[in-house]
Structure 1
Amino acid sequence: MDRVEASGITVILSGDNYDLWSESMKSFLIGKKLWRYVTGDFTVPVRPVGTPTTPPTTKEIDDYRMAIDDWDSKNHTILTWIRNTSSRNIQIQLRRMDTAKKAWDYLENRFQATGGMHHYQLLSSLHALKHESGQSIDDFFSTIQSLWDRIDEANIDEEQLRVIQLLMKLGPEYESVRGSLLHRDPLPSLDIAMKEISFEATRFAMLRSPTTDSALAVPSS
């Protein structure tokens, strides 16, 4: 079975796109009436025990077996969807998870960002979002509307927005300074960000330039 068709969503969780993936998966599970298995509202059915004088009836035992089979089926269906919409390395991390709630909580703790990094992920997800072939316009609009709403809720001020947009445009060689700036709380000003980025650019230039040691060396006789 195709990984994407298994869940009905088109986003593959790679880590840095957690916000977009979680929004898509949550919307999908709510549509399937399965979201409450993830939140823990629907827990594992409890086996009837009765008392020494009134043991569980046959009907109670049969009802329990049907309930546990139904819960297991839905729980493992959600687990399969979560794994099938995750990259290979994340699938490996999830292999010991036996409930949808454990898997969701793990991913949330592992990848959900806060502060500047959270804002960066929201804007990056919006920038990367594209209408996929075969995806209905209603589904696409629901996803993008959800991102717009979350960006509005984040209340990103103008200078923070410019810092994030600047960092989004930097190449992969600036990943170290980008991560350092985004993990600060509060996010540094644009002037401070530019100073640190310029320092990193200067360092790169020095590493790439020919060494001056040969010019200073004394020729041997």
Structure 2
Amino acid sequence: MASSSNSSEIRVPIFNGENFDLWMIKMRTMFISHELWSYVDEGYTVPEIENMSIAQKLELKKKIKKDAKALGILQNSVSEEIFPRISNEETTKAAWDVLLLEFKGSEKVRVVKLQYLRRDFEYTRMNETELLNDYSTRLTDIVNQMKTYGESITEKRVVQKIFMSLNRKYDAIIYIIEETRDMETLGVQDVMGTLRLLMRG
């Protein structure tokens, strides 16, 4: 499905009930790119109409139009099976909140999930027979899920985790990196690229 705006087609990822977290990240990026995220995340307040000035009425009309655009995008981004869940919602935030509650869970559920993810992050180690790329993907998935559930985790923390959790065969390379690079600014992608390069060498 897709919706149109200003004669240009907006391509949207379709949510069919699976991989909600990934879909949510893609949708957030799309809404931000169209300057509509605030209507999804915060909504908008309608002032007392009786006391509204002409300027306020024009501003409200603009907000209603933008919210309708965002709601249309959201409606077109869910499958026919999911659509009935949000079909009666009149604002983007209300529809988004319905999906959040059903597929992401309540705040209490999210806190519990984040606790499990934190534990997974702390205890994750590279297996003896595991390839570097496979371990990198596995760790990245955990980190991305943590961020989805609201965890603020720095590049420095992830880099430290990588160094502490790799196989012993990487010890010499890790030592070289620690001695020759600025650990305060070293990024995850830079670390993984260096590890792959030195292991090939």
Q: TM-score when scaled to structure 1?
A: 0.45
Higher RCO, Cα 8 Å, sep 6+: 1
Structure of larger gyration radius? 1
